[in-house]
């Protein structure tokens, strides 16, 4: 995953972020952390897309939908509810 794609994820899902040795990002819903991921600060390197996808609990199609702007934050919340990570 390219750095700008990770930026799209941060913006679309309203991920909270913090820089340390890596760029840490997490998704909160109702003040509770639901998923976490991170990326390296390494310049010019592709990021492990499959690991970020797994950490955000997304299928390949769902991740592609977010990156292509066909899925929204509310859609992501719906996905997490279907997977039982967010109680209804």
pLDDT tens across 14-36, in order?
A: 999 999 888 899 999 999 999 99
Residue-level pLDDT at 44: 57
Q: Which residues contact 53 (CB under 8 A, 6 or more apart)?
A: 59, 60, 63
Q: DSSP secondary-structure letter at 41? A: -
Residue (of 83, 85, 61, 78) closest to 13 by Cα position: 78
pLDDT tens by residue, 66-83: 999 899 999 999 999 999
The secondary structure element, H or E, covering residue 16 is strand 16-19
pTM, full prediction: 0.84
Q: How far apart are CA 41 and CA 85, in angstroms?
A: 29
Asked if 10 and 17 touch (Cβ cutoff 8 Å), the reply is yes
Beta-carbon-side half-sphere exposure of residue 85 (alpha carbons within 13 Å):
18
- The average pLDDT across 1-13 equals 88
Position 57 confidence tier, pLDDT thresholds 50, 70, 90: very high
Residue-level pLDDT at 2: 82
């Amino acid at each position: 995953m390219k750095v700008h794609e990770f930026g799209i994820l941060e913006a679309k899902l309203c991920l909270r972020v913090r820089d340390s040795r890596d760029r840490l990002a997490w998704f909160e819903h109702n003040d509770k952390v639901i998923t976490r991921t991170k990326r390296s600060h390494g310049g010019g390197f592709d990021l492990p897309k499959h690991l970020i996808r797994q950490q955000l609990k997304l299928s390949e199609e769902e991740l592609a939908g977010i990156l292509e702007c066909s899925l929204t934050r509310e859609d992501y919340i719906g996905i997490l509810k279907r997977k039982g990570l967010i109680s209804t």
